Chains A and B, each alone.
Chain A
Amino acid sequence: MRYETVRRVTNVASLAFCGLLAATAVLPLVLVLYHVVRNGASALNLDFFTKLPVPIGESGGGMANALVGSLLLIGAASLVGVPVGVIAGFFLARQLSGRFAFWVRFAADVLSGVPSIVVGVVAYELIVVPMKGFSALSGALALALIMIPTVVRTTEEMVKLVPYTLYEAALAVGAPEWRATVFVFLRGARAGIITGIMLAMARIAGETAPLLFTAFNNQFWSVSLTQPISSLPVQIFNYAMSPYDEWHRLAWAACLVLVVLVLGMSVITRMVTRGKYEIIQ
């Protein structure tokens, strides 16, 4: 064979092989979604959203308490995580250089890379140990720590998109810096910041590891911050590792709810920010 032909064949074969690898990379998402939808949809009914878990052996029951628990945990985590994250993000967007800004950015990066289970251990040491018991509060704090770096990063990126000249215009007509900041940057970046927050909330909705020994679990109704509380992901874990088919069905249903929530948020965010916000930072 002529050398030229070898080169041409190698070219086509290699590129085709890359195409095959790309198809392989998409396959897991298709498979995971297929199984979650197929197994989850058949187990999902009104009882799932309205009933409490039932004891082993009885059929039926739902995850109403876990749903409410997850919402409560996310809400409480956001109360702490959102203000801190947005404020720090604003700081970074306005303070692009300097030693302090470097350390803040570095800290946000470090926090975003810390395994969530390690954050759980820290929340345990900080809150569960002094309070002498598992509590929704400690779980919420762990989730807040996990959401802060995401909120910081999105806020920074979104504020940077607002034209600086608008800010200068506000200063020129006599606004103090803080009013110019609030009315130009915050208003201009509002939609982006809110979607970033929603995405962070969706992300912590799926977090399991940090809740295992902070919020723990609860088979009953509880909306108290000082008591252990149930959550969807922890309930999925417990039910998945149990030997009962009925519990496996419920776990699949909960998986479907979680996946719809998290992937739905990611897709909406992508559409709202028109691809400016990347899932992977």
Chain B
Amino acid sequence: MSAGEAVYVRPRPAFVLSDRVANSILAAGAASVVGLAVLLGVVLSLGAAPALSKFGAGFLVGKTWDPVAEHFGALPFIYGTLASSFLALLMAVPVGLGAAIFLAEVLPQWLARPIAFMIELLAAVPSVVYGMWGVFVAVPAIARVEEFIGQRWGHIPLFSGPPIGIGMLAAGVILAIMVLPFIASISREAILAVPRAQAEAALALGATKWETIRGPLLRYARKGILGGIVLALGRALGETMAVTMVIGNVPQISVSLFQSGYTMSAVLANEFAEATGRIHTAALVEIALVLLVLTVLVNAFARLLIWGTAAHAGEERV
């Protein structure tokens, strides 16, 4: 081999082998994550099979849940899950979006960042702690509010029922607190990711700060904001402990905010460990399956929206 000559050095066979082993270990780890996701769906489908074949589509629209007579309809739980989640979004979206606007556009970033972090910390508090706080602090306070409203507007169906604090309203409030950080944090990032030129163009035309936010900024960030809201919805749908502790756990469908309700996750938490008989267990597993399908669809939609905005984000700001 003479100096200066370009030489192709073939990798040593030992290298090729060790790299191949290392790469297959990585691929196996990655494949097991996919495998686990598939496993979830398969296990639940198999477990729910007896209920699926016995009740068919009637399971989703049936209103009676009677483990003794082995008659199972999941509508009250589906309604409770959707209603409590919707109620939570109704409260969390305005607060979260307003906070996001304030933190992204009004406060200087050195001050906004720690506050945004505090709001994010709400997402780290365990669900059962919210439940505890809900039962002993929020529910008595909500009971007083319900009493006040009930005395004046009790004839309106929305506000009828006993003002005991426990019920749909309490579940909505606790859920709103729990999903708030998702809306606030993701909306803030979406607003921060809007190209500066968009805002400057509006300001140059004489728009006030608020007009700039309401017009170009929110319009540009709407996909990301919507993504945050949908992600929050996904969390609210599956939230278990805090809801179980404050919603009252009565399988009924009522328009009143003060009445008790029941959610899919709550009935699993309360009944699964003591399920009697094969059909009861299968019916509960089918509820878990419905919950899985619902949350996977909602989350996939959220990811689609957020990934879309992340593609043209990245502009750093001070």
Binding site for B on A (CB under 8 A): 7-8, 10-11, 14-15, 17-22, 24-26, 28-29, 31-32, 35-36, 39, 83-84, 86-88, 90-92, 94-95, 100-101, 103-104, 106-111, 113-122, 124-126, 134, 145, 148-149, 152, 176-179, 181, 202-203, 205-209, 212-213, 216, 233, 236-237, 240-241, 248, 251-252, 255, 258-259, 262-263, 266-267, 270, 275, 278-280
Are B132 and A115 closer than 8 Å at their CB atoms?
Answer: no
Are A259 and B273 closer than 8 Å at their CB atoms?
Answer: no
Task: Compute how far the CA of A111 lies from the CA of B288 in the bound complex, rounded to whole angstroms.
Answer: 14
Quick one: CB contact mask for B236-256 with A, threshold 8 Å, 1 for yes?
011111000100000000000
A113-B295, A181-B22 given; A15·B269 CB < 8 A? no
User: Which residue of chain B lies nearest to A112 when distances are taken between CB atoms in the complex?
Assistant: B299
In the bound complex, residues from chain B placing their C-beta under 8 Å from that of A263 are: 121, 124-125
Select B36's contact among A36, A86, A111, A240, beta carbons within 8 Å. A111
- Looking at the complex, which of B52-60, B95-103, B147-155 is the stretch in contact with chain A? B95-103
Are A208 and B241 closer than 8 Å at their CB atoms?
Answer: yes
User: Which residue of chain A lies nearest to B21 when distances are taken between CB atoms in the complex?
Assistant: A178
User: Which residue of chain B lies nearest to A108 when distances are taken between CB atoms in the complex?
Assistant: B33
In the bound complex, residues from chain A placing their C-beta under 8 Å from that of B39 are: 122
User: Which residue of chain B lies nearest to A109 when distances are taken between CB atoms in the complex?
Assistant: B303
Are B265 and A178 closer than 8 Å at their CB atoms?
Answer: no
- Tell me, rounded to whole Å, the shortest Cβ–Cβ distance linking A130 to chain B: 12
In the bound complex, residues from chain B placing their C-beta under 8 Å from that of A120 are: 268, 272
- Looking at the complex, which of B62-70, B72-80, B112-120, B157-165 is the stretch in contact with chain A? B112-120
- Tell me, rounded to whole Å, the shortest Cβ–Cβ distance linking B285 to chain A: 6
Are A87 and B240 closer than 8 Å at their CB atoms?
Answer: no
Select A113's contact among B36, B106, B299, beta carbons within 8 Å. B299
Are A15 and B209 closer than 8 Å at their CB atoms?
Answer: yes
Are B184 and A25 closer than 8 Å at their CB atoms?
Answer: yes
User: Which residue of chain B lies nearest to A239 when distances are taken between CB atoms in the complex?
Assistant: B132
Select B25's contact among A25, A32, A87, A202, beta carbons within 8 Å. A87
User: Which residue of chain A lies nearest to B294 when distances are taken between CB atoms in the complex?
Assistant: A115
A7-B211, A118-B292, A121-B285 given; A208·B126 CB < 8 A? yes
In the bound complex, residues from chain B placing their C-beta under 8 Å from that of A108 are: 33
In the bound complex, residues from chain B placing their C-beta under 8 Å from that of A212 are: 269, 272-273
A8-B208, A107-B34, A213-B273 given; A206·B44 CB < 8 A? no
Select B37's contact among A14, A110, A116, beta carbons within 8 Å. A110
Select A36's contact among B29, B127, B133, beta carbons within 8 Å. B133
Are B22 and A177 closer than 8 Å at their CB atoms?
Answer: yes
Judged by a CB distance under 8 angstroms, whether B186 is at the interface is: yes
- Tell me, rounded to whole Å, the shortest Cβ–Cβ distance linking A90 to chain B: 6
- Tell me, rounded to whole Å, the shortest Cβ–Cβ distance linking A153 to chain B: 11
Are B37 and A237 closer than 8 Å at their CB atoms?
Answer: no
Task: Compute how far the CA of A125 lies from the CA of B282 in the bound complex, rounded to whole angstroms.
Answer: 10
Are A241 and B102 closer than 8 Å at their CB atoms?
Answer: no
In the bound complex, residues from chain A placing their C-beta under 8 Å from that of B2 are: none
Select B102's contact among A19, A35, A88, A248, beta carbons within 8 Å. A19
Judged by a CB distance under 8 angstroms, whether B47 is at the interface is: yes
> Which 4 pairs, one residue from A and one from B, show the smallest C-beta to C-beta distance?
A115-B238, A206-B126, A87-B29, A21-B98
In the bound complex, residues from chain A placing their C-beta under 8 Å from that of B44 are: 118, 121-122, 125
